[in-house]
Amino acid sequence: MTVTAFIDGQYGTTGLQIQSRLEAHPDVELLSIPEAQKKDPQLRETYLNRADVVFLCLPDEASRAAVALISNPATVIIDASSAFRVDPAWVYGVPELAGLRPKIQTSNRIANPGCYPTGMTLLTAPLVAAGLLPRAYPLTVQAITGYSGGGKAMIADYQGFDRGQAETAAARLKNLDLNHKHLPEMQHIVGLDFAPVFVPTVGNFEQGMLVSIGLHEAALSGSAEQVYVALAEAYQAEPFITLFPLNDQSQLEDGFLAPTHCNGTNRIELFVFSADQRIYLVARLDNLGKGASGAAVQNMNCRFGLLETTGLLV
């Protein structure tokens, strides 16, 4: 089958990444408003209602406004903003999480996940479901990401830095008001009693991400080995998820775990390290791939009955 697709917000970071994937997709016809007519609101509304699938790559309020313009009940919307991620009328777009793939396959309203929550939810949801991680556990989530996650303005800032500015911006904490916009989905999707403490770090590299969570066995209902088995059982058949062996050191380079090794792919790599009843979970992914645009294309594939890996690098 051929799926017609329209990207609203195609010139932003996420939109451009989705466009590049769809242009190479064998089952997609990409609809695009001619450059001379891109500001025509009536033509935009026509395209929003003509396509089989619409990707919204817009700020939250603009996404809500775009959804209001779509009157065609057959149009599938995949929204990349955070506007609908905890809305019960929308399906959260992580097919690998238990129970979500069948819902994605039949829904016309799919909320693409945030990049940080993609790693966080995949690391923790199976543990909560297995009864290993209490819902009341006081989670702290750490993450470091490339600057592309901040969009065009942040990309321009980092790429324009002189040497002194680049050194100053080598790694900087962000969102120290402790109110990151991804907190609601982290709490809601995993089913936690409390939102985690989450302050991300932006590094002076363009693309790539590590999301990590520390746990204490004394506060869990199981061991590091049981944690590992729960993740292994949850994702054993998932083509985009690689779970490395417990305490595996093969991906370390002189003792360091780099954030960039999944760049350009839709792969997410999971790690479990443990020592002295302490556990450290890590997810490595491309913040623009499985963390954004790749996930959107995977959700499209899932919704239209296509092989989920079509058009995506594993």
Cα 14 from chain centroid? 11
Cα separation, 216 vs 279, in Å, equals 6
Counting Cα atoms < 13 Å in the Cβ hemisphere of 156 gives: 5
> Which tokens belong to 105?
């396959």
SS (H, E, C) 208-271: CEEEEEEEEHHHCCCCHHHHHHHHHHHHCCCCCEEECCCCCCCCCECCECCCCCCCCCCCEEEE
In 3D space, the residue among 132, 165, 134, 123 whose CA is nearest the CA of residue 147 turns out to be 165
> Which tokens belong to 303?
């919704």
For the chain, the maximum distance between any two Cα atoms, rounded to a whole number of angstroms, is 64
* Catalytic (active site) residue 115: yes
> Which residue is catalytic, options 57, 115, 262, 302?
115
Phi/psi of residue 271, nearest 5 degrees: -135, 145
> Which tokens belong to 30?
């990409």
In 3D space, the residue among 100, 21, 82, 85 whose CA is nearest the CA of residue 53 turns out to be 21
Catalytic residues: 115
